[in-house]
A = this chain, B = another copy of it.
Amino acid sequence: MSSKPNTSPWLEQVKWNADGLVAAIAQDAKSGRVLMMAWMNSESLQLTISSGDAVYWSRSRNKLWRKGESSGHVQKIHSIALDCDGDALLMQVEQIGGIACHTGRESCFYRQLKGDNWQSMEAVLKDPATMYKSVDQ
């Protein structure tokens, strides 16, 4: 699937967790908005880099998650950074369609703590029911 074997030095510097995953944060390269956090395994990280589009590992579906495959809300990678202890990635992305969240919002972080409640602070831009051609987030 990829031209980069698992033994690449850059891949070895990633500190995978017990499930072979690393946290991946997507940030809008233009606005700076943090869009989402998901997970990648070695294959999805390599695919992300080789394709230029974010590919995550879906823990709920236990398979590769090509972000935007059915919704069209692809994330184009501008750059990718690794943190100091190697267990988190930060990607600067162009969010196609301006919607990262499966709820139809720009960002998955749309609920803010106000007093004792998480309050939705962000409008739904698109009805999720119309967003997907098949099961995808």
Using CB atoms and an 8 Å cutoff, list the residues of chain A in contact with chain B.
4, 8-10, 13, 23, 25, 27, 31-34, 36-37, 49, 79-85, 88, 90, 101-103, 105, 108-113, 116-118, 121
Closest-CB distance, A74 to chain B (whole angstroms)? 18
Known A25-B37, A27-B34, A34-B90; contact A113-B10, beta-carbon cutoff 8 A: yes
**Can you list 19 residue pairs at the A/B interface with Cβ under 8 Å?**
A8-B116, A9-B117, A10-B113, A10-B116, A25-B25, A25-B34, A32-B33, A34-B34, A37-B88, A49-B113, A80-B113, A81-B111, A81-B113, A82-B118, A83-B109, A84-B101, A84-B110, A88-B108, A90-B109
